[in-house]
Structure 1
Amino acid sequence: MVQAKRNSTALKFSVGEAIQIKKAHFKVHRLVGDEVYLEQEETSHIKQFNMHDIIDLYFDGQIRLGEWRQVAGNDNWQRPFSSFTERDQKAALRTEAYLKAVHEAMPDKLNDRKIDVIVKSVNPADKGMSSRQIRRWLVRWLNAGKDIKAVVPGNRFKGNRTERHPSLLNDFIKEAIDEVYLDRTRGTVEATYLYVRKWIKAYNKSLSDFEHMPIPSRSTLYKKIEKLDPYEKALKREGKEIADKIFEPIFSMKRATRPMQIVQVDHTKADIMVTVKGKITVQRVWLTLAIDQYSRVVVGFHLSLKDPSFNSLASCLKHMIRPKTNYRKEWPCFGCAEEILVDNGADFHSTAFQDLCATLGSNLRYCEAARGRQKPHVERFFKSLNHRLFHLLPGTTFESPLKRGDYNSVEQAVIDFDSMVQILEEHIAIDYNKKWHRGINDSPLNAWNKGVELYPVNVPSSVADLDLIFAHSRKQVVSRQGVEINCTHYNSNKLNDLYARHVGEKGKKFVIKYNPDDMTKVWVQDPASGLYIEAYCLDHDSIDGITYDDQKRAMAQVQLQRKKVEEQYFDELPTENLSDKFKVGRLREKSTRKPRRLPNDKAVLGPRNTPDNFDGFLGIDGPVEDVFEDPADPYDDGSRVITEDDGFEDFYLNQPDQDD
């Protein structure tokens, strides 16, 4: 019907044609040049429109040509033609061919004989349609603006619309579906049917044979379950989270227009077992990965034997910022991300990670809770990486025990951790970056190179700042010896000056930063200026090339050796006269106590509390020499006695005078 392009006045109308403008219904009253007079159905008022205004309204989507309201019970106009079944589409095309031929031959007045002749001429092999059918379909077709959807058969509206079962039986079936099928235990249709039978039989026991309620067939129950709303069915059987994942519409996500504009970061447990320390232990590895949303290039990753943490994230971002020196041509990706997209893991919400992103100038954005599909590119890469790499290597765990079968992943693991890092680097640089990616219709490497030509990436202000930015933090006390980490001391002149300024603040802790991969120096923050002071290892040569984890392992070995030595020492101690040793020790402790004083601060002196009577003072009988002799003591030759050198006489001689 519309035979015009935009900004043209060649829209073709006929008097009496129905037009819907917004929600108002009109009919063409008359046409005068470029002016169109429309009669509003509700009020019968005549409104004048210019053809240019009609065209603008049409292309703005505010005008619908044709009158769909006359097609009773038909909602076809709301659906695209391709949504109908293939059978209905063929029937509509066949009917439209007849209607076009009849309308072209008889645009004004219809003749039944001519209609039969025209129908046979369109398709001689087809039985065709009767003139009565042609008239009925022609009215619908013309009123709908010659829209083919008006002649789609309404087969879905056919059939019995009344309920054939008693209302009480329907209530039984509905309650059985709610109790069994729509329960979180996810009962089967068979279990629901048995429940209905049992319920009806119990109900019929108190009734006569004439009043018995009929037992429905299984097909009846199947049909009622099929008519349930799919979302409600999933909501009650699976829960809201699963139902939302299945039926919630996926809208287009925020689009990246340049490299490093949006970087998606996430963790996964890789489907591979690696050996550690020459196959002493076998363990699965964790992969932390950052992928550029624009080019789909992997811009950084970190492989670890430990669970995900801030350390994993910091190492991944550090790898992202630095160039990949082993594959400069195949993997020329580095720089800071403008925005980092992550999920709601605890490590992503840590203050340390938020501070790190702020320091790098990266905006941190979180996905909605339980909406992993909002960062689909990194999730999809994890799946592809497992299938294309890890599942092809010895020691793979596959994606499920069912697919793993009797494959022993632990016994087959032969790749050590360091080799796994190299294999992953080579796979990303040589295989993935150069392979065609259908999501961007290009290879990730080409997309990256084209993007950075127009939009260069950002980097930190100085490379020297990277070590400090990614250093790990802790708080501890600074002493005259400097800072101690894992029994290793760090000090410098500036650090001594800092200690001297705060020497009176006992127990004050300072922020210490250290690089876990290089423990030759640390940084200590000056609280006054906020700047960091460098402190170097006092024994630089012995610690060069040693990491923080190496130090911890060495300390663990030292502690283990210490425990063994102490256990051996206590096992070899002589057990004779141990009670006498403990008794002497208690006596020595008592001997250092001051005498009891009266309220007037005068010492209590008496026959058992005088310097001349040591026996009475110690509260023992017999000579003092006999008590302190200890032949069993390997450090005593048995001749030790209490003398003035032990301090007893000096203690009493130095007591203040009672008259003072």
Structure 2
Amino acid sequence: MSEPFADEIDDIDWDEACRKADVIREFLRRESGPTTTGQIRKLAGELRLSQASAYRLLKLFREGGTVLSLVGRKAGRPAGHRVLDEARDDIIRAEIKRFYLKKTRPSVSALVREVNSSCRVAGLPTPHRRTIVARIEVVDLAKRAKARGEAEIEKSTIAVPGKFEVSRPLQVVQIDHTRADIFVVDEESRQPIGRPWLTLAMDVCSRMVTGFYLTMAAPSRLSTSLCLLHSVFDKSAWLREREIADPWPVAGLPDRLHVDNGRDFRSRAFQRGCEDAGIEIDWRPPGEPRFGGHIERLIGTQMGKLHLLPGTTFSNPDELGEYNPRKHSAFTLRELERYIALDIVGDYHQSIHSSLKRPPIAVWREYEGSIPLRLPRDRMHFWLTFLPEDERTLRPNGIHIFGLRYWSAALAADVGRTGKRRLLIKYDPRDLSRIFVRRLSGNFVEARYGDITLPSITLAEAKASRDSLLAKGKREIDMGTIVRTAIARRQLIDNAQRMTAAARRGKTVSRKPRVDDREWGSLRGVDSSKPVPFVEDTD
């Protein structure tokens, strides 16, 4: 059985594992080389464990490197052994969540009475008060204070630095969203479809853009997660697909993320995924614009570049005058994405930054050899953690999703054994050539197109092609037709743009000879190699 995702872990277990991981990470940053008995003794005191347990957890964390590697491992006792039986332990945790973590701020004594009452109803012995207090202390102090409305305690847990400074790249990365000041058009009809959303990430030290994501959908956990994935992983293949030759060397896990207070940044899955990878999250405090000033200035710079493009809305409606952005819109979402990427790597990274007095890429290169680059230990697990998900039934011929069929030889063993159970599917909306299926065993397997000769398309292209086919009355969706339609539409757009551009430059474009409809009438398009039946005119 593979390990679960972070958002599937109980809150109290997760908070305790995070506490231990923070202590061990600080220990590893502080101590280098082989550990001594004195160092282990000090670590054990910080963990509130025995030296043997501290050594064991240190070994586990060095091997796994994530919070998940510490989940569910109790100190000093064999696996499965508990001082308190599971039934009473569950009652205590449930009563803490139901009764104690409330704005009314019930006392510990009142909680003890509630726990004892629930245990008596269940026919179980009442636990000792110390046991209940210990379970309370496992809950993170800041979360506990916030749930109980203890403002002073919550305030005391928040650091208030005098000046925001960083000493190296990837120490702090800021992420934010903005509605782009430009209308984009549909790839097929070239009609305006609206203004996209841009999610942008920036390294505070070097001012390098670490990644971005452009979408027509409003900000969500998906756009935030895909921006983070773009930030963390190498971008060479991504650049090649967009025919961009300039380098974009940023990659690696940030130590800390500065984000807004939006719901997308507060999602359980996003928080747990960051915590598991050792990424701390700082949410922007209300009324403190300085907190996200770096990323907001970068967003302003990027929007200023878009004001030069056809279809711009400018940042102020008064600037529009008689200009109609919908009428003049020309860029598709895919074209705008490439334009933004070209501007980032070919202009912004190479230009003198007003604060640094140097190009961002020069600052990054200066630190590049000494940056303690952190990459996910299990890259696939990290990738899957942040991808969107769905559930599907395993059919004899594979998994069907988005009108496409996927298959992996590993799924053959599960065919006919899942019953009514639906399997968890992870997918990347930017590349539908593969999905990831969690088997009955708990392990994920990669499943590819049933027809492996088909090229990759995006989720947006698949949906557009499927809608186009359905509009023509097709009830049976064929995977090959969907993908070929998407590719044909791409080629049609490229050819149309090339011919239009050539015509505007005054060049001659070869085309098929026109047919005079007046001469041929209804015979236009008829195969003239076949004899036409003669009908005598009886008039």
TM-score range, shorter chain: 0.5 to 0.7
Secondary structure of residue in 2 paired with 1:341:
strand
> Is the 2:270–2:386 Cα contact (8 Å) retained in structure 1?
no
Report the counterpart of residue 258 of structure 1 in structure 2. 168
Relative to structure 1, the CA distance from residue 412 to residue 329 in structure 2 (aligned partners, 3 Å threshold; closer, same or farther) is closer
Report the counterpart of residue 518 of structure 1 in structure 2. 431
Report the counterpart of residue 364 of structure 1 in structure 2. 281
Separation of aligned partners in 2, 1:491 and 1:331 = 34
> Is the 2:192–2:326 Cα contact (8 Å) retained in structure 1?
no
Counterpart of 1:416 (choices 315, 320, 332) is 332
Where do residues 278-297 of structure 1 align in structure 2 (5 Å cutoff)?
A: 279-297=190-208
Report deviation, 1:462.
5.8
Relative to structure 1, the CA distance from residue 410 to residue 551 in structure 2 (aligned partners, 3 Å threshold; closer, same or farther) is closer
Report deviation, 1:289.
0.2
Q: Which has the higher contact order (CA 8 A, sep 6+)?
A: 2
Deviations 1:265-316 (A, max 9, x none): 0000121223222522242221110000111111111122222222322321
Separation of aligned partners in 1, 2:475 and 2:270 = 41
Secondary structure of residue in 2 paired with 1:347:
helix
Report deviation, 1:335.
1.7
1:485 paired with 2:409, answer no
Report deviation, 1:467.
5.3
Report deviation, 1:378.
0.4
Relative to structure 1, the CA distance from residue 417 to residue 484 in structure 2 (aligned partners, 3 Å threshold; closer, same or farther) is closer
Relative to structure 1, the CA distance from residue 348 to residue 273 in structure 2 (aligned partners, 3 Å threshold; closer, same or farther) is same
> Is the 2:246–2:346 Cα contact (8 Å) retained in structure 1?
no
Separation of aligned partners in 2, 1:537 and 1:329 = 32
Counterpart of 1:334 (choices 251, 261, 266) is 251
Separation of aligned partners in 2, 1:359 and 1:407 = 49
Stretches of 4+ aligned residues off by more than 6 angstroms: none
Counterpart of 1:434 (choices 350, 363, 369) is 350
Gaps of 5+ in 1: 1-249, 566-660
Report deviation, 1:379.
0.7
Separation of aligned partners in 1, 2:465 and 2:332 = 21
Counterpart of 1:508 (choices 421, 426, 429) is 421
Report the counterpart of residue 79 of structure 1 in structure 2. none
Report the counterpart of residue 212 of structure 2 in structure 1. 301
Relative to structure 1, the CA distance from residue 359 to residue 484 in structure 2 (aligned partners, 3 Å threshold; closer, same or farther) is farther
Report deviation, 1:329.
5.8
> Is the 1:302–1:312 Cα contact (8 Å) retained in structure 2?
yes
Report the counterpart of residue 457 of structure 1 in structure 2. 373
Separation of aligned partners in 2, 1:339 and 1:360 = 11
Percent of aligned positions that are identical: 30
1:384 paired with 2:295, answer no
Structure number with bigger Rg: 1
Report the counterpart of residue 25 of structure 2 in structure 1. none
Separation of aligned partners in 2, 1:477 and 1:419 = 36
Report deviation, 1:392.
2.1
Report deviation, 1:372.
4.0
Secondary structure of residue in 2 paired with 1:540:
coil
Report deviation, 1:384.
2.2
Structure-1-length-normalised TM-score: 0.43
1:539 paired with 2:463, answer no
Q: How many residues align?
A: 310
Report the counterpart of residue 178 of structure 2 in structure 1. 268
Separation of aligned partners in 2, 1:419 and 1:331 = 19
Deviations 1:224-251 (A, max 9, x none): xxxxxxxxxxxxxxxxxxxxxxxxxx97
Separation of aligned partners in 2, 1:360 and 1:515 = 20
Separation of aligned partners in 2, 1:251 and 1:519 = 45
Report the counterpart of residue 133 of structure 2 in structure 1. none
Relative to structure 1, the CA distance from residue 422 to residue 537 in structure 2 (aligned partners, 3 Å threshold; closer, same or farther) is closer
Structure-2-length-normalised TM-score: 0.52
Report deviation, 1:517.
3.1
Relative to structure 1, the CA distance from residue 364 to residue 328 in structure 2 (aligned partners, 3 Å threshold; closer, same or farther) is farther
Report deviation, 1:343.
0.8
Secondary structure of residue in 2 paired with 1:448:
helix
Report deviation, 1:412.
2.2
Q: Over aligned residues, Cα RMSD in angstroms?
A: 2.9
Relative to structure 1, the CA distance from residue 532 to residue 395 in structure 2 (aligned partners, 3 Å threshold; closer, same or farther) is same
Report deviation, 1:451.
2.2
Where do residues 463-482 of structure 1 align in structure 2 (5 Å cutoff)?
A: 468-482=384-398
The AA in structure 1 aligned to 2:406 is: Y
Separation of aligned partners in 2, 1:463 and 1:329 = 25
Relative to structure 1, the CA distance from residue 370 to residue 489 in structure 2 (aligned partners, 3 Å threshold; closer, same or farther) is farther
Relative to structure 1, the CA distance from residue 355 to residue 473 in structure 2 (aligned partners, 3 Å threshold; closer, same or farther) is farther
Where do residues 168-187 of structure 1 align in structure 2 (5 Å cutoff)?
A: none
Separation of aligned partners in 1, 2:369 and 2:323 = 48
Report deviation, 1:418.
2.7
Report deviation, 1:475.
2.0
1:556 paired with 2:467, answer yes
Where do residues 344-355 of structure 1 align in structure 2 (5 Å cutoff)?
A: 344-355=261-272
> Is the 1:288–1:301 Cα contact (8 Å) retained in structure 2?
yes
Report deviation, 1:430.
2.5
> Is the 2:214–2:337 Cα contact (8 Å) retained in structure 1?
yes
Secondary structure of residue in 2 paired with 1:535:
strand
Report deviation, 1:253.
4.6
Report the counterpart of residue 3 of structure 2 in structure 1. none
> Is the 2:197–2:219 Cα contact (8 Å) retained in structure 1?
yes
Separation of aligned partners in 2, 1:549 and 1:420 = 15
Report deviation, 1:501.
4.4
Separation of aligned partners in 2, 1:545 and 1:329 = 24
1:406 paired with 2:318, answer no
Report deviation, 1:402.
1.4
> Is the 1:343–1:369 Cα contact (8 Å) retained in structure 2?
no
Secondary structure of residue in 2 paired with 1:549:
helix
Where do residues 39-118 of structure 1 align in structure 2 (5 Å cutoff)?
A: none
Report the counterpart of residue 168 of structure 1 in structure 2. none
